[in-house]
């Protein structure tokens, strides 16, 4: 290897560092990858790229890069640290535990490392305890919940909610949430129960048409970023009888207004069940909610019982929406088997399996991602798989589709059209987690079934950090 190549590779790494400091993760990733192509023996190149993968939530790739860095330098503390953070993010706590222990052994004076280790040990114990007491078919969280007898808290000064949702209540709730107030616990339980009953009776793949004189807006991940959700409505119009909305999963976790978003979306579902649609995302699941903040937020703002009824309602959500027989909209992506047809989704009984598990149709619908290379590949996340343009083309042709619309991944411009126009990603959480300088986007669909893309910027919000309610928020830190 010539010195000039090493010098050029180091210069590329420095450009990557600059892009990273500017929160431009995709550009940083490109520079680090170019550096590795020039010179593939420097562990810092891999370690820096691992940190970039973490920022992009490509945790499986981060684990691989940190492991490569450690093969070159087994004493590289940052590589142990980053591999531990990546494994924590994909719930591989026992693997993370080994690396946190390695960091503490190598830097015994690092108090932060000791804290992370203690939190990881605590979380492993908790997961093992919960697994030990797990019941195969737990009773409904609504069982014994007498909402009718609940009393609205004294001093509640908002609009009252009777037996049916009203636009007046929603308008008042939107303002209350903006002002940092809550709704009565009774009303929160009413909203979740009503929405759960509605979505439970919907098909696993909801099929909608866009009638003349109406439009449908498709939104991607909102991740507890309530004020950015309101910005979508301000720019694009609030839900109405002629303006339907579809939210494509990941309403909760990460951002610290997940209760507000979930309750607002459910209230709209109750008010306009045939004009407001919700797909399940990979964060509408117990494992993710326990780690990424929603469980803790429910407990802090309302109580643990509310989280349990939300959990049950999430498992009732549809997994996909077919728009005008042309666009299959689902949170993650396509499948490990080319034989899967729309009828397989229609026939999937999602009520027999509350959580997606590690394999199968539901897991793939919630977790998979597109890749540029043909065929299928291992997941960059460490969960699910990746599918290439040829896979998308075959699926669309076999099912008479124009394209699939999915979410699940940050896109710097808020959306991306790839796989020769057949795979569209839309992401609606701008400046994701207050650290990624991405735009948000949404898609308007009219009766002609043409896709109209709109980008928008993040708006200011109260000074509450992402993951504020996660019990192990410091353990999950991406820094």
Residues with catalytic function? 283
Q: 111-132 and 93-106 helices cross at what angle (nearest 10)? A: 160
Asked if 187 and 164 touch (Cβ cutoff 8 Å), the reply is: no
Asked if 119 and 113 touch (Cβ cutoff 8 Å), the reply is: no
Q: Which of 267, 274, 280, 167 is nearest to 216 (CA)?
A: 274
Asked if 158 and 230 touch (Cβ cutoff 8 Å), the reply is: no
Report the C-alpha gap between 312 and 355 in whole angstroms. Answer: 10
Instruction: Concatenate the DSSP letters of all residues of 86-152 into one string.
Output: HHHHTT-HHHHHHHHHHHHHH-TT-HHHHHHHHHHHHHHHHHHHHHHT--SSPPPTTTT--GGGPPP
Asked if 99 and 80 touch (Cβ cutoff 8 Å), the reply is: yes
Q: Which of 70, 74, 72, 126 is nearest to 83 (CA)?
A: 70
Asked if 208 and 416 touch (Cβ cutoff 8 Å), the reply is: no
Which residues lie below 8 Å from residue 176, measured CB to CB, with a gap of 6+?
A: 158, 182, 183
Angle at CA of residue 258, ends 253 and 262, nearest 5°: 115
Asked if 251 and 281 touch (Cβ cutoff 8 Å), the reply is: yes
Report the C-alpha gap between 82 and 54 in whole angstroms. Answer: 8
Task: Take residue 26 and report the two structure tokens written for it.
Answer: 């995709």
Is residue 443 helix, strand or coil?
strand
**Number of alpha helices (DSSP H) and beta strands (DSSP E) in the chain:** 17, 14
* DSSP for residue 468: T
Report the C-alpha gap between 309 and 65 in whole angstroms. Answer: 40
Task: Take residue 234 and report the two structure tokens written for it.
Answer: 């301000």
Task: Take residue 392 and report the two structure tokens written for it.
Answer: 């998308």
Sheet holding 376-378, edge to edge: 369-370, 385-387, 376-378
Q: Which of 295, 315, 317, 313 is nearest to 145 (CA)?
A: 313
């Amino acid at each position: 290897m010539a010195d000039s190549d090493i010098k050029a590779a180091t210069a590329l790494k420095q450009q990557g560092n600059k892009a990273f400091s500017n929160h431009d993760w995709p550009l940083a990733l490109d520079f680090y990858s170019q550096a590795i192509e020039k010179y593939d023996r420097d562990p810092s190149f891999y370690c820096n790229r691992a940190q970039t993968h973490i920022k992009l939530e490509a945790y499986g790739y981060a684990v691989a890069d940190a492991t490569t860095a450690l093969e070159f330098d087994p004493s590289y503390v940052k590589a142990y640290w980053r591999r531990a953070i990546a494994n924590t993010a994909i719930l591989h706590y026992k693997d993370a535990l080994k690396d946190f222990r390695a960091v503490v052994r190598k830097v015994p004076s690092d108090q932060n490392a000791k804290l992370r280790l203690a939190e990881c040990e605590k979380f492993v114990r908790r997961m093992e305890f919960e697994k030990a007491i797990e019941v195969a078919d737990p009773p409904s969280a609504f069982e014994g919940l007498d909402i009718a007898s609940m009393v609205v808290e004294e001093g509640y000064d908002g609009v009252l909610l009777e037996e049916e949702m009203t636009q007046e209540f929603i308008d008042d709730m939107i303002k209350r949430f903006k002002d940092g107030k809550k709704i009565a616990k009774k009303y929160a339980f009413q909203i979740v129960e009503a929405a759960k009953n509605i979505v439970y009776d919907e098909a696993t793949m909801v099929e909608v048409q866009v009638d003349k004189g109406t439009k449908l807006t498709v939104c991607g991940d909102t991740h507890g970023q309530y004020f950015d959700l309101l910005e979508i409505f301000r720019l694009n119009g609030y839900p109405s009888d002629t303006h339907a909305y579809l939210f494509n999963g990941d309403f909760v976790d990460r951002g610290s207004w997940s209760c507000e978003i979930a309750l607002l979306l459910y209230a709209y579902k109750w008010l306009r069940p045939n004009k407001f649609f919700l797909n399940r995302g990979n964060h509408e699941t117990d494992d993710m909610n326990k780690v990424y903040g929603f469980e803790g937020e429910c407990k802090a703002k309302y109580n643990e019982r509310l989280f349990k009824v939300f959990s049950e309602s999430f498992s009732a959500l549809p997994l996909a929406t077919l728009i005008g027989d042309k666009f299959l909209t689902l949170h993650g992506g396509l499948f490990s088997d080319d034989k899967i047809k729309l009828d397989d989704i229609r026939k999937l009984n999602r009520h027999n399996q509350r959580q997606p598990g590690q394999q199968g149709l539901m897991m793939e619908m919630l977790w998979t991602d597109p890749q540029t290379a043909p065929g299928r590949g291992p997941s960059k996340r460490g969960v699910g798989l990746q599918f290439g343009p040829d896979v998308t083309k075959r699926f669309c042709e076999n099912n008479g589709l124009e394209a699939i619309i999915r979410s699940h991944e940050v896109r710097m411009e808020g959306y991306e059209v790839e796989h020769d126009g057949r795979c569209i990603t839309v992401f609606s959480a701008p400046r994701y987690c207050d650290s990624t300088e991405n735009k948000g986007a949404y898609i308007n669909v009219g009766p002609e079934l043409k896709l109209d893309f709109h980008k928008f910027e993040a708006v200011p919000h109260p000074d509450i950090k992402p993951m504020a309610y996660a019990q192990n928020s410091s353990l999950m830190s991406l820094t």
